[in-house]
Structure 1
């Protein structure tokens, strides 16, 4: 484990997987993820071993071994965290964002606050761009912040998964009896950061090209054919408003992805060895 302290005093923990000289990519997890999440580790290892990339897998603030800003939820803070990571690993890196981490990666690239971003991969950013499927309540943050402040972690997980992510209540109820429920509760306070990132893009309204005009680097948007219509629609909508984006939908892939299926498109795009290269 390595760490970097941001200008705001946040300690960010990360692991560095050195595969070769094909460039650096920072992996950005989504809601309830953390750097030791098994599929995050598998993705980092495969990109390093099979594509000679240096992969930085970090704990976003409020997760794992990184510190937090309790009660302060602002996407600009997490963009500044990414800037600190990029600087710490050499000043140049691509971003691979997963779910809300994809939303964060795209906003970081659009912001102009992170020098050195070379490419972006957005794996199923959970934008809600119409009213045909699930739309979170506009006042979700009120209850979410209250649950976090009162340290009601199990309730935070259930609330955000059902009201913020649209998961069926029965599915979430079953999760309570799985071994990883304790890990979900451990990172549940960070859900406030995920909503700060995604909330204004989950209203059921179309994405606006003006919000994404700053994403001038080559971008690959990935979706899975086994994912729900909401996520697949979001991927197409994101691709349409990004200045330099391509979209690939992978058969047999879902939002809980088979990393062996996900990795080739990502690795080939990042290393410029396939049709997806910018």
Structure 2
């Protein structure tokens, strides 16, 4: 484990393995750097891979008040640590964060894997506010359960994941992911149009329909993008299937 100091003084923990062009991996909700380690292992033969704990998670610090720009600053610190040039991959809400970072920082290439942008013409659900209320009340496990149900996860699986060691401790950072996604998760057109590097958008054909729709929608917005659909894959893709696709960047 290595550490960098972000612009606000927060310590960000990261791991680095492999060789080649640097590639920073950004995890989604309820993920620390260890969740991305299997993917990093698959990519390490082709890239100098960085996995890190987003602020408030794992071995990284945190500060208040939360602001999405602070997370962009964290990524900027990692970019500096690897020499100032890197590609960027983000999954789920981590793809939402990667999109924001890529619109403000100089990356060589960008991979956005199923950012959960909802349809712009659908009224937002109040489930997100209920998740935040549960967190404020200290009901972290219940907050995780509700969040996972929001994503379409079957209830038995949601209950199992929420009960896994360490998961409930990450519940407060769900508020960060909601902030990254703009709470309602509608498509950030201006942000996407500001991403100039070549961008690969990935979506599975068996994923939630709104995520597949979002992938098609954002490819039409991004200035320099291609879409890769993974047959029969859902939101979480086995690393041995996903890594070769990322390796094309």
Matched residue, 1:218: 198
- In the TM superposition, 1:89-238 aligns within 5 A as 89-110=82-103, 112=104, 114=105, 116-130=106-120, 136-137=124-125, 140-141=128-129, 143-163=130-150, 165-176=151-162, 181-200=164-183, 202-203=185-186, 207=187, 209-238=189-218
- Contact kept? 1:29, 1:97, Cα under 8 Å: yes
- Contact kept? 1:136, 1:166, Cα under 8 Å: no
- Contact kept? 2:99, 2:191, Cα under 8 Å: no
Give RMSD over aligned pairs. 2.1
Alignment TM-score, normalising by the size of structure 2: 0.91
Shift of the 17–155 alpha-carbon distance from structure 1 to 2, 3 Å rule, reads same
Matched residue, 1:7: 7
Shift of the 139–259 alpha-carbon distance from structure 1 to 2, 3 Å rule, reads closer
1:104-139: CA deviations, max 9, x gaps? 1111111x2x2x31111001111102567xx65258
- Contact kept? 2:131, 2:144, Cα under 8 Å: no
Structure 1: stretches of 5+ with no match in the other structure: 270-278
Helix, strand or coil at the partner of 2:234? coil
**How many pairs align?**
249
How far the C-alpha of 1:201 sits from its partner, in A, is 5.5
Structure 2: stretches of 5+ with no match in the other structure: none
1:162-219: CA deviations, max 9, x gaps? 34x3434444234355xxx22321211111110000135524xxx3643322100110
- Contact kept? 2:4, 2:13, Cα under 8 Å: yes
Shift of the 9–249 alpha-carbon distance from structure 1 to 2, 3 Å rule, reads same
Helix, strand or coil at the partner of 2:17? strand
- Contact kept? 2:112, 2:200, Cα under 8 Å: yes
**Of residues 31, 36, 43 in structure 2, which corresponds to 1:33?**
31
